[in-house]
Amino acid sequence: DRTLWRTPERAFDLYAARGTATPVDVAILPRPARATRPGGAALDLSGGWRLVGDMPRAALVPALAALPVGAGPVGKGRVALTVRRDATLRPEGYRLAVDATGVSVTAADAAGASYALRSLAQQMAAEGPRLRPLIVEDAPRYGFRGLHIDLARNFHSKAEILKLIEQMAAYKLNTLHLHLGDDEGWRLQIAGLSELTGVGAYRCADLSERTCLSPQLGADPAREAATNGYLTAADYRDILRAAAARQIAVIPSFDMPGHSRAAIRAMEVRYQRLMARGDRTGAERYRLVEPADTTRYSSVQHYDDNTLNVCLDSTYRFIDTVIDSIAALHKAAGVPLTTYHIGADETAGAWRESPACKVMMARTGLQPGQLGAYFIERIAADLARRGIAVAGWSDGLGHTDPARMPPRVQTNIWSNLHAGGVAEAHGQANLGWKTVLSIPDLGYFDMPYAADPDETGYDWASRGVDSFQVFGFMPGNLAANAALIPNILAQPKAIADTVPLQPGRAIAGIQAQLWSETVRRDSQVVYMLFPRLLALAERAWSKPDWEPTYVAGASYDPGDPRVDRARLLTGWRDFA
Ligand code: TNX
């Protein structure tokens, strides 16, 4: 695995290794839909290029900068690099043609034009500045191609995020899901609520005068800087601008109502400070938990103080303020907030003894088991009123009444494929929700590469996910992945399509997840993501030619000859 994928440039050797019908000797990853070599004299780009055409240069700056040769000096054999709009091409698609007279790109949008230049850059990296004539006609399989990175559990720097954004652009990923709030930390400065970062971004510090959250999962806060830190408003705007320049959308997420310990602790400190100043009104304004609520609960990650009270008006006032503040940051950066991720996963059984919830249930007729859904539906409606789409994790969203949800919903499917993930993905896609595959079996890159004591990571979803397995993923036929998944039982299991995808419904795309409980240093971020992220980018863009056509209701055994090719080169046998 590691040998073959040692460098991104070598990653496309996988096509050959898997016996895939490769486009004629091109070195482009993700694999383009079509590529031909028309023959004829080569083009020499070593003298640089000059940009012509009607695509604004401003939209292409990072992609132009990624070319191995720059804009050449005037009159020194510069080659014409023509980039034109063609509204008939598919969104994000492009046509790239190289011949002896120059390079010509057509695309419907700036993303497509940029992707053409990214393909050109990869081809030049492999072939050198003298290119043989080439035609690439390309468009993505999925419109959603995402990377999720968790800054909450352990913080990762703005510099690291900016590097990742450039890597995402190089491999045609278009959505960055930034996880900024969870039990262990709140990582974005919010106007007017300074405690959120002043307290909530410090899991603990060696700075003795500081108010800290307690450490978690064995972290040694005195030695591990990653436990502390946050993005300032200016950092966040810089990230938004860098992403937008590369046609990458940013989805901010602050997990609620569970997974909210950092916010709760930070706002409790604020409460005490305001009370000490005699400002009771100010203190009560953003109260997140109810002192009289004696409910005992424990979250999946063993927190007993991490759940917002969903029956308090002050909880909604707080969330409103957070969303306003983030929307303002997006506006200031010139990048509108279009999707906001509320988390909504793994809500513990809180509120049973909450007086406020008893009053609310008496008033509304809601049952205790419906309070979590009430929260999600209410926030979703608030977001819809502002023109913002709601996103959330599939378990929480699955508990809502779809009739009470707004039309635009993004769901991240995170049940293991062998444990209900296929039904969950199809069921939520059948509701018309934008369904993103975040499946842990193959897409949680906080899991180790292999079941090997030298590989770090969590093992709850899989004891090893190597790049071949990710590369072998068949997102268009989920049950067919039975052979790919060395599940937690160490036995590949058959998968049945018990909830078929209805005609006209579709999966929106794929996302890689890097949760950061066990990922502290920036170098670990790189290790866990690369090269697996390239394999995921490949699957998000390009349909594997070994994927069997989807047949509603079919089930697949790990040994099924129809998916046998998918097993080639995967490590599950060694694993088992
Ligand atoms: C499950 S995925 C979680 C996260 C953890 C992750 C670790 C999801 C919605 N919840 O809170 O960080 O597992 O792999």
Centre of ligand 1 from the C-alpha of residue 460, in Å: 10
pTM for the predicted model, two decimal places: 0.94
Q: Is 414 in the pocket of ligand 1 (CB under 6 A)?
A: yes
User: Does the domain spanning 34-138 belong to CATH 3.30.379.10?
Assistant: yes
Tokens 């590989």, residue located: 455
Nearest CA to ligand 1 atom 12: 515
Q: Is 444 in the pocket of ligand 1 (CB under 6 A)?
A: yes
Q: To test the ligand 1 pocket, which listed residue (182, 346, 459, 511) has its Cβ within 8 A of the most ligand atoms?
A: 346
Q: Is 5 in the pocket of ligand 1 (CB under 6 A)?
A: no
Q: To test the ligand 1 pocket, which listed residue (151, 515, 519) has its Cβ within 8 A of the most ligand atoms?
A: 515
The one-digit pLDDT tens for each residue of the chain (576 residues) are 444 443 444 455 555 555 555 555 788 999 999 999 999 999 999 999 999 999 999 999 999 999 999 998 887 789 999 999 999 999 999 999 999 999 999 999 999 999 999 999 999 998 999 999 999 999 999 999 999 999 999 999 999 999 999 999 999 999 999 999 999 999 999 999 999 999 999 875 444 555 667 655 444 545 556 778 999 999 999 999 999 999 999 999 999 999 999 999 999 999 999 999 999 999 999 999 999 999 999 888 888 889 999 999 999 999 999 999 999 999 999 999 999 999 999 887 789 899 999 999 999 999 999 999 999 999 999 999 999 999 999 999 999 999 999 999 999 999 999 899 999 999 999 999 999 999 998 999 999 988 777 888 888 888 788 887 888 899 999 999 987 876 565 667 889 999 999 999 999 999 999 999 888 888 889 999 998 999 999 999 999 888 889 999 999 988 787 776 555 544 433 333
Centre of ligand 1 from the C-alpha of residue 73, in Å: 52
Q: Is 446 in the pocket of ligand 1 (CB under 6 A)?
A: yes
Q: Is 345 in the pocket of ligand 1 (CB under 6 A)?
A: yes
Q: Answer yes or no: are the C-beta atoms of 416 and 395 closer than 8 Å.
A: no
Ligand 1 atom showing the smallest separation from residue 150 Cα? 12
Measured CA to CA in angstroms, residue 552 lies from 429, 446, 498 at distances of 14, 32, 9
Centre of ligand 1 from the C-alpha of residue 47, in Å: 50
Active site residue 346: yes
Nearest CA to ligand 1 atom 4: 515
CA–CA dist 454, 543 (Å, integer): 33
Centre of ligand 1 from the C-alpha of residue 184, in Å: 13
| Cα radius of gyration rounded to whole Å, the chain | 25
Q: What is the ipTM of this complex?
A: 0.97
Q: Where are the domains of the chain?
A: 34-138
CA–CA dist 155, 229 (Å, integer): 6
Q: Is 459 in the pocket of ligand 1 (CB under 6 A)?
A: no
Q: Is 560 in the pocket of ligand 1 (CB under 6 A)?
A: no
Centre of ligand 1 from the C-alpha of residue 300, in Å: 10
Nearest CA to ligand 1 atom 8: 345
Task: Using CB atoms within 10 Å of the CB of residue 369, give its burial: 0 to 12 exposed, 13 to 18 middle, 19+ buried.
Answer: exposed
Instruction: Look at residue 373 in the predicted model and tell me its pLDDT.
Output: 96
Instruction: Look at residue 487 in the predicted model and tell me its pLDDT.
Output: 59
Measured CA to CA in angstroms, residue 526 lies from 63, 160, 177, 513 at distances of 22, 9, 17, 13
Instruction: Look at residue 418 in the predicted model and tell me its pLDDT.
Output: 87
Q: Is 517 in the pocket of ligand 1 (CB under 6 A)?
A: yes
Q: Is 515 in the pocket of ligand 1 (CB under 6 A)?
A: yes
Nearest CA to ligand 1 atom 9: 345
Instruction: Look at residue 572 in the predicted model and tell me its pLDDT.
Output: 38
CA–CA dist 390, 371 (Å, integer): 18
Ligand 1 atom showing the smallest separation from residue 412 Cα? 9
Q: How far apart are the first and last CA of the chain?
A: 17
CA–CA dist 240, 251 (Å, integer): 10
Centre of ligand 1 from the C-alpha of residue 221, in Å: 22
Find the catalytic residue in 160, 284, 346, 455. Answer: 346
